């Protein structure tokens, strides 16, 4: 698209025309506009008068050589302006740096080309530039001390398998329905800072991003949600919850993970039913999975997942489906969360092994012992209850395999559950 209409619809609040060939914008933009995204066009200038309520101006990677004279006084302190990747003259940059650094400055946050940008543009390694540029793009919206070290850490991973796909993934997140959400912007930036300190987590992100760019935007959002889950589990592995004072937080995290697991099962069943041959609609399971996470984000405390999705309307999931899913998850949690922590959620086991190593070791010994004579006695009783004791047939062997698995789970629930209760009691906690 080479140009826009000179008169845009009155009442327009959000306009994203990124990745086009625009060389200019209408001089009179709608006064109601709050977000204007014109990234990666061919703009050489911006309109002198900008909408007074504009909160987000994304104009990176254009050909801007000048800026509106009153840019910093037209927009409020809550606004942000991204001018990264533009060939602005040194004097313009100097004037801007001076203005935004002055005492009492009350204008917008401005992201400008800086030394990092020059470094990126001059590198000989295009893959390095692609990944580091993508990371830098998210950090600029929420800058913090130490971000240069963060970029250096990501640069060291630029040639690893999957790095290029992950860079593309980050770039496409800029175009997502969540990109103008300040909470999401901060989450992405902080996530990148955390992953910069964890090479194993970065490698996991690269792997998860491998297939995320091949389909729709909501697939990328669901993948990002999965990355955040991986980061939370990595925190457990790295000892973040080993302080006894963090045990309540670990339990809450366990509830979140239980809820996600339960929702996955519900979504799988719903996707199967919606995609049955009796229906004419072409239902994408990705939309179904994301719909449940998105609509129950607040109600089930899934704060780590993205706040929005693009295509809920085509997911086939209704408000009634969502309400029923919430009831199902809460009922399952009430009945099963205790056993889930004790026997099914490895992070709990890992933390207990570090904060109560002697008790954990004793539990393991008890569990091993119970799988001998205790297991045999219980299995024999189960067979006797079914009239199968003392017989030798294929039916009995099948029953032993099925009942044996149930007996092992029963023993594990009892022994591991006792340790769970002891740890909770020692810290004055209860489920």
Q: Which positions are annotated as active-site residues?
A: 216
Q: What is the strand order of the sheet 80-82 is part of?
A: 14-16, 35-37, 56-58, 80-82, 109-111
- Convert 132-164 to b/e letters by CB count within 10 Å (16 or more is b): bbbbbbbbbbbeeeebeebbebbbebbeeebbb
CA distances from 220 to 182, 185, 287 (A): 18, 15, 11
Q: Residues 201, 314: contact at Cβ < 8 Å?
A: no
d(CA 29, CA 25): 8
- Report the C-alpha gap between 237 and 239 in whole angstroms: 6
- Give the DSSP per-residue string, 119-167: HHHH-S-HHHHHHHHHHHHHHHTS--TTHHHHHHHHHTTTTSTTHHHHH
Q: Which residues pair with 35 in a beta bridge?
A: 14, 56
Closest C-alpha among 286, 274, 55 to residue 182: 55
DSSP state at residue 238: T
Task: Return the axis-axis angle of helices 247-274 and 346-355, rounded to nearest 10°.
Answer: 170
């Amino acid at each position: 698209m080479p140009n826009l209409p000179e008169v845009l619809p009155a009442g327009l609040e959000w306009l994203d025309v990124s990745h086009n060939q625009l060389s200019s914008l209408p001089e009179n933009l709608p006064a109601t506009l709050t977000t204007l995204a014109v990234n990666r066009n061919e703009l050489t200038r911006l309109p002198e008068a900008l909408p007074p309520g504009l909160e987000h101006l994304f104009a990176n990677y254009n050909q801007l050589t000048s800026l509106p004279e009153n840019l910093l006084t037209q927009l409020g302190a809550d606004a942000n302006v991204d001018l990264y990747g533009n060939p602005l003259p040194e004097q313009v940059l100097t004037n801007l740096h001076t203005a935004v650094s002055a005492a009492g400055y009350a204008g917008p946050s401005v992201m400008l080309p800086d030394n990092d940008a020059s470094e990126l543009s001059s590198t000989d390694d295009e893959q390095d530039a692609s990944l580091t540029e993508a990371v830098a793009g998210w950090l600029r919206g929420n800058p913090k001390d130490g971000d240069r070290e963060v970029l250096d850490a990501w640069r060291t991973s630029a040639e690893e398998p999957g790095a290029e796909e992950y860079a593309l993934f980050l770039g496409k997140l800029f175009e997502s329905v969540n990109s103008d959400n300040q909470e999401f912007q901060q989450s992405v930036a902080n996530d990148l800072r955390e992953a910069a300190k964890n090479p194993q987590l970065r490698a996991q992100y690269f792997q998860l991003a491998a297939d995320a760019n091949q389909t729709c935007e909501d697939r990328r959002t669901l993948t990002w949600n999965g990355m955040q889950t991986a980061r939370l589990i990595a925190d457990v592995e790295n000892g973040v919850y080993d302080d006894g004072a963090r045990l309540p937080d670990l339990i809450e995290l366990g509830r979140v993970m239980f809820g996600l697991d339960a929702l996955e099962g519900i979504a799988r069943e719903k996707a199967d039913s919606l995609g049955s041959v009796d229906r004419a609609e072409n239902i994408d399971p990705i939309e179904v999975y994301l719909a449940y996470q998105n609509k129950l984000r607040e109600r089930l405390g899934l704060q780590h997942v993205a706040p929005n999705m693009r295509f809920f309307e085509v997911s086939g999931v209704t408000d009634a489906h969502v309400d029923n899913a919430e009831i199902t998850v809460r009922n399952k949690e009430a009945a099963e969360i205790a056993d889930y922590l004790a026997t099914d959620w490895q992070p709990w086991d890992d933390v207990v092994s570090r904060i109560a190593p002697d008790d954990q070791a004793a539990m393991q010994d008890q569990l091993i012992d119970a799988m001998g004579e205790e297991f045999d006695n219980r299995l024999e009783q189960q067979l006797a209850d079914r009239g199968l004791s003392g017989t030798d047939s294929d039916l009995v062997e099948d029953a032993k395999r099925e009942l044996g698995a149930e007996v092992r789970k029963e023993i594990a629930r009892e022994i591991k559950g006792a340790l769970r209760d002891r740890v909770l009691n020692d810290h004055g906690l209860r489920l």
